[in-house]
């Protein structure tokens, strides 16, 4: 079966600081650009039937530096809209929301602009998966996007609740592969560091 290759965009200043980076369109750091170039050793030149990217520049720039072309942008692949939590770290948010707060289980407090709920992100991921599955009939598919979005998408690929994306750590610039085993959706490879991984095959 054809496979789905996931590429998380490279490092940004906010990802280094562990800030929730949703719709804020910030660029890659020099290290993030190098991560994307290293990813080209894994994915560059591969004959994908479809290459999808978030429209945000950190994702598109990663795709370009990784040698992926032609790129088709899809607005459904933008990162989670964190609302008033945008730009804040989990530690900062927990100072007001409590020590157990997590974006995966958050209930919006009074006075907080909610942004998207997990169910909203999952609905977008499900729409993207319909497009991906159609393209898999003619070959592998690449998806360049964001950590939380890709973790939700992977959960939905596996038929799991979207909140199970909390179990899937995904580093900046990492490459992962989704496929099937005995006809069931599976993770083939996960969170590969392109600076130390030679090739996917």
> Is 180 noted as a catalytic residue in this protein?
no
Q: For residue 196, what pLDDT is reported?
A: 79
Q: What is the pLDDT of residues 154-196, one digit of tens each?
A: 999 999 999 999 999 999 999 999 999 999 999 999 999 988 7
Q: For residue 142, what pLDDT is reported?
A: 98
Computed on alpha carbons and rounded to an integer, the radius of gyration of the chain in Å comes to 16
Q: For residue 84, what pLDDT is reported?
A: 86
Contact between residue 152 and residue 118 where contact means Cβ atoms under 8 Å apart: yes
> Is 9 noted as a catalytic residue in this protein?
yes
pTM: 0.94
Q: For residue 110, what pLDDT is reported?
A: 47
How far apart CA 152 and CA 158 sit, in angstroms, is 10
Catalytic residue, from 3, 11, 79, 86: name it.
Answer: 79
Contact between residue 150 and residue 121 where contact means Cβ atoms under 8 Å apart: no
Q: What is the pLDDT of residues 29-54, one digit of tens each?
A: 999 999 999 999 999 889 999 999 99
Catalytic residue, from 9, 61, 146, 148: name it.
Answer: 9
Give the dihedral sign, CA 54/104/178/158.
negative
């Amino acid at each position: 079966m054809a496979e789905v290759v996931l590429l998380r965009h490279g490092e940004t200043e906010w990802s280094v600081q562990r800030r929730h980076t949703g719709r804020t369109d910030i660029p890659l750091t020099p290290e993030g650009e190098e991560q994307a170039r290293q990813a080209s050793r894994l994915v560059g030149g591969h004959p994908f039937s479809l290459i999808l990217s978030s429209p945000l520049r950190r994702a598109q720039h990663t795709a370009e530096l990784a040698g992926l072309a032609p790129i088709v942008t899809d607005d459904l692949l933008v990162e989670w809209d964190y609302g008033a939590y945008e730009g804040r770290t989990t530690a900062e948010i927990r100072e007001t929301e409590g020590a157990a707060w997590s974006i995966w289980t958050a209930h919006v407090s009074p006075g907080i602009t909610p942004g998207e709920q997990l169910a909203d992100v999952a609905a977008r991921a499900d729409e993207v998966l319909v497009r991906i599955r159609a393209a898999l009939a003619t070959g592998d598919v690449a998806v360049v996007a964001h950590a939380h979005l890709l973790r939700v998408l992977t959960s939905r690929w596996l038929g799991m609740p979207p909140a199970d994306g909390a179990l899937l750590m995904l580093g900046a610039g990492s490459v992962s592969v989704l496929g099937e085993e005995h006809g069931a959706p599976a993770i083939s490879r996960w969170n590969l560091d392109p600076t130390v991984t030679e090739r996917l095959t």
